[in-house]
Chain A
Amino acid sequence: MLSTWRAMNPMARREALEGYTALIPWVIGFLIFTTFPIIMSIYLSFTEWTIIEPPTWIGLANYERMFTRDPLFWQSLKVTLLFVAFSLPLKLVLGLMLALLLNIKVPGMNFFRTVFYLPAVISGVAVALMWMWLLQPDTGVANTLLAAIGIQGPNWFWDRDWALPSVALMSIWKVGGSAIIYLAGLQNIPPHLYEAAKIDGANRWHSFWGITLPLLTPTLFFQLLIELIDSFKVFTEAFVITQGGPLKATYFYLYYFYEEGFRNFNMGYASGLALVLVVIIILITVFLNFTSKRWVYYESD
């Protein structure tokens, strides 16, 4: 490092200094607002802390309870993993399908793109309340429409079997946000590839499988990671609509974290829960990153 610095000419040194100086505010912010809370959170996970009183060191007791005698930990983890498994593929596929539709060149497409993106910018609480009304079993729009075609709709959020799918359904409503990112990826695909494929006799389906999908894999990979993390963080729906019920069918991991931290005043344990979630997400991300070498194609490949 020092030899590199010595090898630099004065102009390069000055530029480097200016660069590092410009970085200082960010580094300070990162240390204070990111690194410090993470370190504190790790420390607190080994303590009993009611927030009001000073923390007390209890070693691994929080983790011992979590893994050996806490049914709510396993229940919340199960519910969250089920939600991820159910909603993630739906969000990825529907987001891509929507992006393909929004990529068609027809008049007024900018209007449609705006309309589909709107749900992504509406407050989560407002969205939750709206879905409560839509899926109300007796008077909601969904069951009224189903009744019109002779189907008796379920009790949605108020049914142990339907509550989780209902939350997953809600999450799909926001695919407009990811569709815009897919759209950017789609528009980066060079048109001459499609023209060449057309000359070779490829139909639209062949073009999609042979050109669109492979060249979109970097975007797909990015979306997969972002949506995965987002799915693990599901909270508002449980907080506003179901309070984790019925029968803990929507008792999501972050809802449990919130209850432990702020209702049960057990912030040490809640810190442990948060840390375990981070580890789970890191492990899955590393695994996906490892597999990405086999299915993600970059232009440089």
Chain B
Amino acid sequence: MRGKSRFLALTMILLLVMSQLGSALAQDSVTIEWWSVAGNELPQEAQEAIVTAFEAEHPDIQVNLTILPESGYDERMTTTLGAGEGAPDVALFWNANWYAQTLDLTPYLEADPDLSPEDYFENFWINWATWGDKVVGLPLGVGANFVMYNKAVFDEAGVDYPTADWTPEEYIEVAKAVTDTEVRRWGGDRPRGPYRAIWMNYGAFPYSDDSTMVDGYFNSEASIAAYEWLWDLVDSGATPTPADIEILGTEGTGPIDLFLAGRLAMATLNQGHMLIAVDEGVDFGIVPEPGFVDSQRFVNAWSLTASIWSGTENPDEAYEFLSFFAGPEGQRILMEQGTLFPALPAVLDEYENADTDYAQAFFSVLEDTQVAEWTAGHPCWRGAVIRSVQDVWDLINLGEISRDEVTTTINDYIDEAQASLEECTPRLGG
């Protein structure tokens, strides 16, 4: 009987010690929630590899990676942040409206001996990591649009390759020269929306920088010139229709399939398409989107901003993970397995084909002024105003107005665009 009591008491003590030990261990190990999406730019395997490498270096921090469908990511993040609880410690904060709920990384970077803002491309840092004086996140990689041209098609047509200093008018001339209707080959594609690189190269912006005035901007000489250029391009017959692009373009990111098949001699594509063309053995060249000599040149470039939610209970551990993911180790893995190139120039130089002409042309484009420099600071453009002026774009693309009607058509939409701007700006700022 006595022996049985002793055994019971011993068991109880053992259980007590084990439970205390267990909870102590559990307290030492922190789990970070990481919400992301997966795709060509950011493959799930690459993210898992980064998480594995991070956990090997930081055994006291576990990372719970949740891959969400890209199509519903915005809604999920918006509603979760709106609820004020249940948001992940670290996530892709690619919408500027979410920046208010990010942790300011300034003190962490100041205390970090291994990572600093100077390590990143300056323009990507400004556009994708900062918001006013606040460091809202770290840029995970870089991507950009540029014009890819098929050298074999140009050689066959006896047309000179385009050069980096070409103008929008030259784009149309070159597109016409390499178009061959008999073999159903178009010269070049159309821009996918107004006020991207070519518009800004014209010096055209939809409204004033202080987000108060549409009149004088949307209908400025530069803006009208850009729309007339689009009209000329559509009229040239050297470009596929929106229906062709919609159907034959790959997942809406660009008509890479048409380009690879030689049915599109030039196309505005991105670094992911560039890698596909390399794999397919297509002989191609890269030039920036057309602009004007001696004037500012814009590029449609992007990054993925990864941020820490301001409500996290584990900010230090979250920063450890974020700085690893967006630091040299993480971006190296991303470059090897995904299609986003590193936002850190030192790591970008490690690209295996860095000395090729196409890679150098791509790297050069990354230095240009970014369209995002304007659009990121003017959230009402994408949110509200573009809807009001979309008809002008449609009318030109459908060939429903003459060139002479471009100016009057633009003027017809000034009031509607102004009303949209005035409705939106008090809410989203500008």
Contact = CB atoms under 8 A, between A and B. Distances in A.
Interface in A43-58: 48, 50-53
B204 to A, nearest CB: 22
Given A72-B387, A158-B243, A265-B78, 5 more contacts: A51-B79, A158-B242, A245-B390, A246-B398, A259-B387
A139 B394 contact: no
Contact of B246 (A132, A160, A248): A132
A65 to B, nearest CB: 7
Given A52-B81, A157-B243, A247 B395 contact: yes
Contacts of B246: 132, 158
Given A52-B101, A69-B419, A247-B395, A132 B247 contact: yes
B398 A48 contact: no
B161 to A, nearest CB: 29
Interface in B382-397: 382-384, 387, 390-391, 394-395, 397
13 contacts: A50-B427, A51-B79, A51-B82, A69-B419, A72-B387, A136-B244, A137-B243, A156-B243, A158-B241, A158-B243, A160-B398, A245-B394, A265-B383
B243 A53 contact: no
Contact of B82 (A52, A137, A139): A52
B160 interface: no
B171 interface: no
A263 B387 CA distance: 11
Contacts of A159: 398
B247 A50 contact: no
Interface in A16-71: 48, 50-53, 65, 69, 71
B108 interface: no
Interface in A126-160: 132-133, 136-139, 155-160
B232 interface: no
A264 B74 contact: no
Contact of A247 (B75, B247, B387, B394): B394
Contacts of A69: 419
Contacts of B100: 52-53
Contacts of A53: 100
B97 interface: yes
B115 interface: no
A136 B247 contact: yes
A156 B246 CA distance: 13
Contacts of A246: 242, 394, 397-398
Interface string B411-429: 0000010010001100110
Contacts of B374: none
Name which of B75, B383, B419, B427 has the most chain A CB atoms within 10 A of its CB.
Answer: B427
B384 A264 contact: yes
A69 B242 CA distance: 31
Contacts of A72: 387
A262 interface: yes
B243 A138 contact: yes
Nearest to A248: B391
A129 B383 CA distance: 25
Contact of B416 (A51, A71, A139): A71
B114 to A, nearest CB: 32
Nearest to B391: A247
A180 to B, nearest CB: 30
Contacts, number: 75
Interface in B69-93: 74-75, 78-79, 81-82
A171 interface: no
Nearest to A251: B387
A103 interface: no
A70 B357 CA distance: 52
Contacts of A158: 241-243, 246, 398
Interface in A216-263: 244-248, 259, 262-263
A266 interface: yes
B98 interface: yes
A61 B182 CA distance: 58
A31 B192 CA distance: 46
Contacts of B423: 65
B131 to A, nearest CB: 13
Contacts of B97: 50, 52, 265
B248 to A, nearest CB: 8
B81 A266 contact: no
Contacts of B241: 137-138, 155, 158
Interface in B283-302: none
Contacts of B395: 247
Contact of A52 (B78, B383, B390): B78
Contacts of B98: 52
Contacts of A259: 387
B398 A50 contact: no
A31 to B, nearest CB: 19
A113 to B, nearest CB: 33
A248 B390 contact: yes
Contact of A263 (B244, B247, B382, B400): B382
Name which of B101, B242, B247 has the most chain A CB atoms within 10 A of its CB.
Answer: B247
Name which of A52, A71, A136, A244 has the most chain B CB atoms within 10 A of its CB.
Answer: A52
Contact of B78 (A138, A245, A262): A262
B82 A247 contact: no
A264 B390 contact: no
Contacts of A156: 243
- 5 closest A-B pairs (Cβ-Cβ)? A51-B82, A158-B243, A264-B383, A246-B394, A136-B247
Given A50-B427, A71-B416, A132-B246, A263 B394 contact: no
Contacts of B82: 51-52
B81 A50 contact: no
Contacts of B400: 160
A229 to B, nearest CB: 23
Nearest to B382: A263
Nearest to A159: B398
A247 B243 CA distance: 14
A137 B78 CA distance: 38
B367 to A, nearest CB: 31
Interface string B98-120: 10110000000000000000000
Interface string A64-100: 0100010110000000000000000000000000000
Nearest to B240: A138
A261 B185 CA distance: 41
A253 to B, nearest CB: 14
A245 B100 CA distance: 33
